[in-house]
C-alpha cells in the first residue's frame, strides 16, 4: 500500500529561505528536521502544511529531537512581522527544546531569610502587584536585593526567572551575588561561553536544574518550561537593541512575552528611559543612607587643572577615581568651545552632522544643510571644534602627570575577552588600580565601593548628537557615572561641560523626565512610532536608487510621515554606500502597512531605532 505524502513549507535555519518538502509523517509547526539542499543536509524548521505543489519535492530525511514550542513559534512569528524580518531570522534567536530529557530530582533550595528594609518591602509589594512595572531606583538603592527576594518567591512556586542585563560586562559581579543566594541553580548565558560550558548550561536548563537564568539579550530566548518572571535591569540601556537583523529590542520583547505568558515583568534603572517612565507604573527608590556627593562643573578642556588637583587629592587619601569619555568617536558634531552649544538644525532642534566631503553641516532628520559655519550661532565665537579626546590619549597623559599612579584603560579596545574583563574588575576591587579610564562600559552597573571621584569628560559631544535622544543619553550617562562614586563615603563628581545650566538643572532625573515628556509631545516616542529604512550597496548609484524607489512608493500613505532621507552620517562602511529613510506615525499598524507595501530587496527595516542615520 502506497504511503500518503504530505507537503510542508520549511524555513532553512540560518538562511532567509523557505522551501517546500514532502514527508510520510505528520509534522507540527516548530519541529526541526534535516533536508537535502544543494548536495548537503541542512537543518530546517517546519512552518505549516501546504497543498501538493505542481513541482516535484525532495523528502524530509530526518526528524530532530529538538523542536520549538508553540509559544516560541508564536513569538518568532510576532518578531518576524513586527521587525520586518524573515521567519528564519526570527527563529534563529531561540534555542529549541529537546525531547526525552531526564528531569533532575531537584532538592529544595535553602534560601536565606529576607533582609529588606521597609522601603524595599514596599517596592517589592508594588512590583508584585503590576503586570509590568518600573523600579526607579537610585544607584546603590538596593534594586538587586529586591529582585533577589522576588526570585525567591518565583522559585518557591516551582518556576524559573530570567534576569536580563544589557551587556556581558555585568555578568561576573552579578553572577557572584546571585550564586551566594541561589547556588548552582543560577545559569549564566551569553555569547562568550565556551562550547562546553554552553552545552553544560543548556543541559541544566533542559533538566530544570536552572532556576535563575542571567545574561544579556540571548538569555531571553532559552527553552524554559515554566517561566514565572522576567527582570530587565538597566532597562534604559541601548544595548538591548540589536543592530543586526532582526533589529529587536529585548526589553520590548520581554514586555510582549510577559503579556502573552501572563507573567510579571520588572524594568529597573536609576535613569529609566523616557518611554518606559511614560508607559508603565513606577516606584521610586532612594538610597537608605545617602553619602554626600559634590558636583563640580569644569569648563576646561582635556586634563584640566581642576581634574588634576582632584585626582591628586584622591591618590593622597588612598582612594580611587573613574574617568569617563563618551564613545562613538567616529560621529562628528560641531561644538562651540566657548559656550558648549552644538550647531543645531533650525527645524529639528538636534545637532547637525559634519560632512567634510561636502563642506557642509547636514541634519539627518530633515536633510536641511548649510555650509560649515565659522562662528557659533549663539555666542558668535570662532572657536568651533569637532575634536575628540580618546581613552588611550587620556591614559598616556595621566601617566606623565601622575607617574606614581596605577592607571588602567577600560574600553572595547583593551577589554577584548571575558577573562580580561574579570581580571580588570578584580584588580580595581583589590585597589591594584588607582584610576580607571573608560567609555560607557564604566556606567554599566558595576559596584566600585572605594571610588571617591568620578570625572565625566566631553559630555557635550553626547548632548550634541544628531538625535532626539541626545538629551536623555547625556543626562542619563552623567548620573550613571556619578552613581559609581560615593557608594560608601563622600565623593566628588567633576562634569566637564560648557552646558552647566542644562546638567545642573537635571541632577534630579525625575524633573528631566517630566520636562522631556512635554518636549516630545506629538513629535517623538513615546507619542509616535519611528522606523528607519536602511539601504546599502557597493554601488552608490544602486543604493541611492533603491532609496528613491521606496520614497516614491511611500508617498501615497498619508498617515505615515517621511521625516527625512539621504546618506547616512557615515556614508560608506565596509565598502558599501549607505542611505536611509526616517518614518514617523502615530499608528503602528499604518506604519507597518506602508513599510510592507513599499520596501524592496535592499531595504533593511529598523523598527523603533535608537540611533538615527
What mean pLDDT is predicted for residues 387-391? 67
Residues 361 and 127: their CA atoms lie apart, in Å, by: 47
Band (328; pLDDT cuts 50, 70, 90): very low
- Closest by CA to 223, choosing from 244, 238, 241, 201, is 201
Q: Could you tell me the pTM of the whole model?
A: 0.87
pLDDT, residue 114, reads 82
Going by pLDDT thresholds of 50, 70 and 90, the confidence category of residue 545 is very high
Mean pLDDT score across all residues of the chain: 89
* Pick from 186, 211, 217: nearest CA to 95: 217
Instruction: Quick: pLDDT tens for 19-53.
Output: 999 999 999 999 999 999 988 999 999 999 999 99
pLDDT of the residue at 290: 60
Asked if 443 and 480 touch (Cβ cutoff 8 Å), the reply is yes
Q: How confident is the model at residue 551 (pLDDT cuts 50, 70, 90)?
A: very high
- 244-286: pLDDT as tens digits: 899 999 999 999 999 999 999 999 999 999 999 999 999 998 7
Are 231 and 148 a contacting pair, CB within 8 Å? no
Confidence check: pLDDT of 101 > 90? no
| CATH entry, 6-95, from 3.40.50.150, 3.40.50.2300, 3.40.1440.60, 3.30.70.20 | 3.40.1440.60
Phi and psi of 542, rounded to 5°?
-65, -40
To which CATH superfamily is domain 118-285 assigned? P-loop containing nucleotide triphosphate hydrolases (3.40.50.300)
Q: How far apart are CA 354 and CA 343, in angstroms?
A: 10
Q: What is the CB-side half-sphere exposure of residue 295 using CA atoms within 13 A? A: 18
Sign of the alpha-carbon dihedral angle for 254, 260, 263, 265: positive
Whether 349 and 467 have beta carbons less than 8 Å apart is answered as no
69-83, 457-471, 549-563, range with the lowest pLDDT:
457-471
Query: Does the pLDDT at position 139 exceed 70?
Result: yes
Q: Is 568 helix (H, G, I), strand (E, B) or coil?
A: strand
Residue 413 confidence (pLDDT) above 90: no
Distances (CA, A) of 19 to 56, 59, 325, 502: 12, 11, 50, 57
Domain extents in the chain: 6-95, 118-285, 293-329+388-518, 529-607
- CA 572, CA 264: separation in Å to the nearest integer? 43
Beta bridge partners of residue 266, listed in sequence order: 133, 231
Topology adopted by domain 293-329+388-518: Rossmann fold (3.40.50)
For 427-449, how does the pLDDT look when each residue is reduced to its tens digit (9 = 90+)?
Answer: 888 899 999 998 877 766 566 77
Q: Is the CA virtual torsion 334, 335, 341, 342 positive or negative?
A: positive
Cα gap 272→137, rounded to integer Å: 9
Q: Indicate the pLDDT class of residue 332, thresholds 50, 70 and 90.
A: low
Q: What is the pLDDT of residue 335?
A: 76
Domain 293-329+388-518 in the same topology as domain 118-285:
yes
CATH assignment, 529-607: 3.30.70.600
- The percentage of residues in the chain with a pLDDT greater than 70, rounded to a whole number, is 93
Q: Which residue has the cell 529531537?
A: 65
Q: From CA 363, how far away is CA 348, in angstroms rounded?
A: 8
CA–CA distances in Å: residue 407 to residues 16, 401, 404: 47, 11, 9
Amino acid at each position: 500500500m502506497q504511503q500518503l505524502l504530505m507537503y510542508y513549507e520549511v524555513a532553512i535555519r540560518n538562511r532567509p529561505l523557505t522551501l517546500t518538502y514532502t514527508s510520510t509523517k505528520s509534522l507540527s509547526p516548530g519541529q526541526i528536521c534535516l533536508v537535502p539542499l544543494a548536495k548537503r543536509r541542512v537543518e530546517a524548521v517546519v512552518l505549516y502544511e501546504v497543498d501538493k505543489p505542481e513541482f516535484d519535492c525532495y523528502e524530509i530525511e530526518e526528524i530532530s529531537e529538538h523542536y520549538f514550542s508553540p509559544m516560541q513559534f508564536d513569538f518568532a512569528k510576532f518578531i518576524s512581522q513586527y521587525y520586518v524580518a524573515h521567519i528564519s531570522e526570527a527563529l534563529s534567536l531561540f534555542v529549541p527544546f529537546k525531547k526525552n530529557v531526564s528531569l533532575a530530582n531537584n532538592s529544595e533550595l535553602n534560601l536565606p531569610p529576607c533582609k529588606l528594609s521597609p522601603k524595599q518591602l514596599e517596592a517589592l509589594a508594588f512590583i508584585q502587584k503590576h503586570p509590568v512595572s518600573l523600579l526607579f531606583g537610585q544607584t546603590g538603592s538596593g534594586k538587586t536585593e529586591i529582585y533577589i527576594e522576588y526570585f525567591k518567591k518565583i522559585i518557591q512556586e516551582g518556576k524559573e526567572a530570567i534576569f536580563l542585563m544589557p551587556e556581558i560586562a555585568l555578568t561576573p559581579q552579578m553572577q557572584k551575588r546571585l550564586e551566594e543566594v541561589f547556588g548552582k541553580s543560577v545559569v549564566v548565558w551569553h555569547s562568550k561561553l565556551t562550547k562546553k560550558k554552553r552545552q553544560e548550561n543548556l543541559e541544566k536548563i533542559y533538566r530544570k536544574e536552572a532556576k535563575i537564568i542571567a545574561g544579556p539579550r540571548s538569555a531571553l530566548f532559552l527553552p524554559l518550561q515554566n517561566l514565572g518572571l522576567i527582570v530587565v535591569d538597566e532597562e534604559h540601556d541601548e544595548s538591548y537593541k540589536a543592530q543586526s537583523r532582526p533589529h529587536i529590542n529585548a526589553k520590548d520583547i520581554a514586555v510582549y512575552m510577559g503579556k502573552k505568558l501572563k507573567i510579571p515583568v520588572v524594568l529597573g534603572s536609576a535613569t529609566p528611559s523616557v518611554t518606559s517612565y511614560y508607559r508603565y507604573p513606577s516606584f521610586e527608590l532612594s538610597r537608605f543612607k545617602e553619602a554626600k556627593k559634590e558636583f563640580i562643573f569644569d569648563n576646561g578642556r582635556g586634563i584640566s587643572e581642576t581634574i588634576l588637583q582632584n585626582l591628586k587629592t584622591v591618590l593622597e587619601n588612598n582612594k580611587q577615581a573613574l574617568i569617563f569619555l563618551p564613545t562613538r568617536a567616529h560621529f562628528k558634531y560641531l561644538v562651540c568651545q566657548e559656550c558648549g552649544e552644538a550647531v543645531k538644525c533650525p527645524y529639528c532642534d538636534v545637532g547637525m552632522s559634519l560632512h567634510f566631503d561636502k563642506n557642509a553641516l547636514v541634519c539627518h532628520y530633515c536633510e536641511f544643510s548649510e555650509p560649515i559655519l565659522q562662528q557659533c550661532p549663539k555666542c558668535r565665537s570662532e572657536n568651533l571644534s569637532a575634536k575628540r579626546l580618546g581613552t588611550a590619549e587620556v591614559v598616556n597623559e595621566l601617566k606623565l602627570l601622575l607617574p606614581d599612579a596605577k592607571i588602567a584603560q577600560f574600553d572595547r579596545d583593551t577589554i577584548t575577552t571575558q577573562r580580561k574583563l574579570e581580571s580588570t574588575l578584580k584588580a580595581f576591587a583589590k585597589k591594584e588600580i588607582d584610576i580607571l579610564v573608560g567609555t560607557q562600559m564604566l556606567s554599566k552597573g558595576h559596584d566600585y565601593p572605594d571610588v571617591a571621584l568620578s570625572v565625566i569628560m566631553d559630555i557635550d559631544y553626547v548632548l550634541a548628537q544628531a538625535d532626539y535622544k541626545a538629551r536623555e543619553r547625556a543626562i542619563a550617562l552623567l548620573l550613571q557615572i556619578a552613581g559609581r562614586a560615593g557608594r560608601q563615603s563622600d565623593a566628588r563628581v567633576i562634569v566637564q561641560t560648557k552646558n552647566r545650566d542644562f546638567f545642573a538643572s537635571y541632577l534630579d532625573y525625575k524633573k528631566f523626565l517630566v520636562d522631556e515628556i512635554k518636549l516630545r509631545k506629538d513629535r517623538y516616542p513615546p507619542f509616535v512610532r519611528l522606523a528607519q529604512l536602511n539601504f546599502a550597496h557597493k554601488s552608490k548609484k544602486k543604493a541611492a536608487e533603491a532609496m528613491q524607489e521606496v520614497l516614491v512608493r511611500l508617498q501615497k500613505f498619508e498617515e505615515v510621515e517621511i521625516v527625512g532621507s539621504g546618506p547616512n552620517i557615515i556614508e560608506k562602511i565596509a565598502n558599501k554606500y549607505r542611505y536611509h529613510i526616517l518614518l514617523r506615525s502615530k499608528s503602528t499598524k499604518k506604519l507597518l502597512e506602508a513599510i510592507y507595501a513599499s520596501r524592496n530587496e535592499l531595504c533593511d527595516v529598523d523598527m523603533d531605532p535608537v540611533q538615527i542615520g
